[in-house]
A and B are shown apart, each in its own frame.
Chain A
């Protein structure tokens, strides 16, 4: 089964899910490491969606463009929550509540994409999704080593990886 762009995104949704579960159930001292991984992963993932995938949906007429616009708005909201959490010590007492807000926002957002946006892309733009797959894969691949890079750096690295895949 050749993996199209949506399959690649779904794979990361699964990974994002797992990390949210892991951090939610971890002892405070054990949150740091998966939290670092999740932060980088979220920035990479949403950047790829915004740069490559939502634009495909935005080119569709039957309401799909509006569906995609709603998704972008959710991503902006989630990014704001992520930014606020950046300064919170993951071992602190204030972390769980703010983290749960982010978790709810991100997981609902992913569910919305899977329910309202991706099925339409698969139904109407399957060729485009397949053609985009190498670039999506390259962009998402940045998530494998984001280290402590700040979001701006991560976004640049994603853009570069996508450009290289084009070349």
Chain B
């Protein structure tokens, strides 16, 4: 059923975006762009379901003092609407990967494609940072509206969208507060709302709740799943907390360091909402833990 839906969705998108030329050039150089053959559709289907494709990615930081081989041979295909968690010891390149996806740092070698095209700087991404990255001079609402202003959304609509997303993160009443008057957890919720309101194609979250206390973190994890289920965004989520990874992800990408590379990709098929005390949950968590540590 899900597959059929997907196919229908993709087919519509396929037509509406008039992708013949682009895709066929990309995938089947010799094909005539006018004809929609089954094989080309299949190719396109695959390219469409695969939202992001990362191939042989390498990152080397060259600093005057030393050379850091941060990432090597990273291959990862991310489907549209997937929730991917990235875990691994400190320094194994998780932030680096996220930063490359966001366009903050250059790629040394390899490719990242999105919807079959090489990644450009200006695709719509939402980023939630580990540090508080709200603009202190804007109220919660104005922070959420920022991306919409950049996109020249008319003011009324902006306000309405901001209101919707503030409601989604349950902060309606705090819309006119400045960030320094909000608690840490509330600030990160505003940050999530800001990233979502921009209606990004993918959401990149780098240990967004790492600095929060356990209760608040749990609450925000639930909220994140909730938001994800409602909006069906593709999410890449970095965390140190394995329980969090198993709770949130469809798949968990386990990194190991020196140089940073993917050790294994663990699929999590537990039904949601997940119970972090269930034996399968704990078993999975232990499995991931073993993967991270001994290599």
User: Do A and B bind?
Assistant: no
Contacts from A to B (Cβ < 8 Å): none
Q: B: which residues have CB within 8 A of A?
A: none
